[in-house]
């Protein structure tokens, strides 16, 4: 049995026991919740302690990986630009739509108070900040103090400066520093893997504590969360087709039919890497792109680009804010959306559930949201994952279409190429 399956079973078992206790005797449920909550909190703290060094290392590594890829030529540089633009558009779109969709959903008035009682926020909700105040806080006066305080946005800004500066020093020293940064990231991932071995216990404790206090209204809210993710993944995927038509100058029917085999592999394997051969076949044979373009762009996309990553981060943050009744002002949403793009380009390649915690934690922290719900949401991550993988594969092929048009404007795809 995989650890993912164990986590899902632990979530279901914890929820059932919590609901049964709450139905049987409220006082007993409160006592059990008081015992279970610290267990879940310890597990979540163990995950949280790796976030600062891991995120800083990921960003530095991601910048240098993008720089190394872009240095291979014009096509690679165009691909990196296309990746950043598409990620930014997906993040901005989600920052607008996700809170809007959630505002339309019914919410039990008791859910907010019950959640705050069952899962006391680690981070207090920040008040609305003006643009000037927000900008002043983005650049840290002391990077060490920002890291110690868990101020993720200033830390990310420092990491961006450090990563870009690292690309400007002589190769020998850059490689030596990158080895240290890689070592830090690898060490943090080992710790995360150790902590995730206890994920069934942590998720069970969190689910038991919350459902014993909140009751069945939490289950309805989690259903909304899953539906929100699936809807946003589908919308993002569908909007990639017009991008391929307008920016890649593809015919809609031709592009849609050509990428179906790769999408089918993505849906069945839930892995972009496993879908790479099918993506290569679709791009080279069915869409007729010059061999050099997909051979370069698609491996880069698998290494640097997940179009649904910022969608997930903003949906998670928006859901937590909605569930706790915390308003998200435009400045906070804009900062979270920008951070989601940066984090997403540094997180590709992290193992399994480590991706969820290492990427959603900094975005939630930067938006001053409670972190406790992330333990439960982690257990639900596998349910909408098939839609995310299909979206990522569609994004990879869309980016390839755009790069093929930009990199070789005179070498248009063969219009006689079919998907047969």
pLDDT tens digits for 45-59?
888 888 788 888 888
What average pLDDT is seen over the chain?
82
Show the tokens assigned to 166: 């690292």
pLDDT of 144-198, one tens digit each?
Answer: 777 776 677 788 888 888 888 988 888 889 889 999 988 988 898 888 888 888 8
More confident residue, 344 or 119: 344
| pLDDT tier for residue 95 given thresholds of 50, 70 and 90 | very high
Give 102's pLDDT tier (boundaries 50, 70, 90): very high
What local confidence, expressed as pLDDT, does residue 317 receive? 94
Angle at 233 between CA 323 and CA 395, to 5 degrees: 145
pLDDT band of 411, cuts 50, 70, 90: very low
Percent of the chain at pLDDT above 70? 84
Note whether residue 325 is domain-resident.
Answer: yes
In tens, the pLDDT along 307-346 reads 999 999 999 999 999 988 888 889 889 989 998 998 887 7
**Residue 417: inside a domain:** no
Q: Across residues 204-215, what is the average pLDDT? A: 79
Residue 409 has pLDDT above 60, yes or no: no
- Top-ranked range on mean pLDDT: pick from 31-40, 262-271, 312-321: 312-321
pLDDT in the model for residue 209: 81
What confidence tier does 71 reach under pLDDT thresholds 50, 70, 90?
low
415 within domain boundaries:
no
Burial class (CB in 10 A: 0-12, 13-18, 19+), 180: exposed
- Name the more confident of 135 and 393: 393
416 in a domain, yes or no? no
Does 413 reside within a domain? no
User: Tell me, what CATH number does 360's domain have?
Assistant: 1.10.3860
Quick one: pLDDT band at residue 351, thresholds 50, 70, 90?
low
Q: What is the DSSP string of 316-340?
A: HHHHHHHHHT----HHHHHHHHHHH
Number of domains in the chain: 1
Range(s) of the domain holding residue 109:
3-407
In a domain, 414, yes or no: no
* Residue 409 in tokens: 């404007």
CA-CA distance, 408 to 410, in Å (whole number)? 5
pLDDT value of residue 230: 95
How much is the pLDDT for 110? Answer: 65
User: What is the predicted pLDDT for the residue at 304?
Assistant: 80
């Amino acid at each position: 049995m995989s650890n993912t399956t164990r986590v899902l079973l632990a979530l279901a078992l914890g929820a059932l026991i919590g609901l049964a206790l709450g139905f049987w005797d409220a006082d007993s449920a409160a006592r059990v919740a008081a015992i279970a909550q610290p267990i879940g909190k310890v597990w979540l703290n163990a995950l949280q302690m790796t976030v600062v060094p891991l995120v800083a290392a990921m960003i530095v590594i991601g910048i240098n990986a993008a720089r190394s890829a872009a240095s291979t030529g014009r096509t690679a540089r165009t691909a990196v630009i296309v990746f950043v633009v598409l990620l930014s558009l997906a993040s901005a779109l989600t920052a607008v739509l996700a809170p809007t969709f959630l505002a339309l959903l019914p919410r039990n008035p008791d859910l907010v108070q019950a959640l705050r009682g069952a899962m006391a926020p680690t981070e207090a909700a920040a008040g609305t900040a003006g643009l000037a105040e927000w900008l002043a806080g983005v650049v840290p006066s002391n990077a060490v103090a920002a890291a110690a305080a868990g101020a993720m946005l200033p830390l990310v800004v420092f990491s961006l400066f450090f990563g870009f500066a690292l690309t400007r020093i002589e190769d020998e020293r850059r490689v030596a520093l990158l080895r240290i940064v890689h070592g830090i990231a690898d060490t943090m991932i080992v710790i995360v893997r150790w902590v995730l071995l206890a994920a069934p216990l942590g998720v069970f404790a969190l689910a038991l504590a919350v459902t014993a206090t909140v009751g069945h209204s939490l289950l309805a809210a989690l259903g909304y969360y899953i539906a929100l993710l699936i809807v946003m993944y589908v919308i993002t995927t569908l909007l990639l087709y017009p991008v391929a038509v307008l920016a890649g100058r593809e015919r809609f029917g031709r592009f849609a039919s050509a990428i179906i085999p790769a999408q089918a592999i993505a849906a069945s394997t839930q892995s972009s890497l496993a879908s790479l051969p099918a993506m290569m076949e679709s791009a080279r044979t069915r869409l007729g792109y010059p061999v050099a373009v997909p051979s370069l762009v698609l491996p880069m996309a698998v290494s640097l680009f997940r179009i649904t990553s910022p969608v997930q981060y903003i949906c998670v943050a928006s859901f937590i804010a909605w569930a706790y009744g915390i308003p998200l002002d435009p400045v906070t949403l804009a900062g979270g959306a920008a951070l989601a793009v940066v984090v997403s380009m540094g997180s590709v390649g992290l193992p399994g559930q480590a991706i969820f915690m290492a990427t959603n934690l900094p975005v939630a922290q930067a938006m001053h949201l409670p972190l406790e719900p992330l333990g439960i949401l982690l257990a639900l991550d596998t349910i909408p994952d098939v839609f995310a993988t299909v979206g990522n594969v569609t994004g990879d092929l869309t980016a390839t279409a755009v790069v093929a048009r930009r990199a070789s404007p005179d070498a248009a795809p063969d219009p006689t190429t079919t998907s047969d």
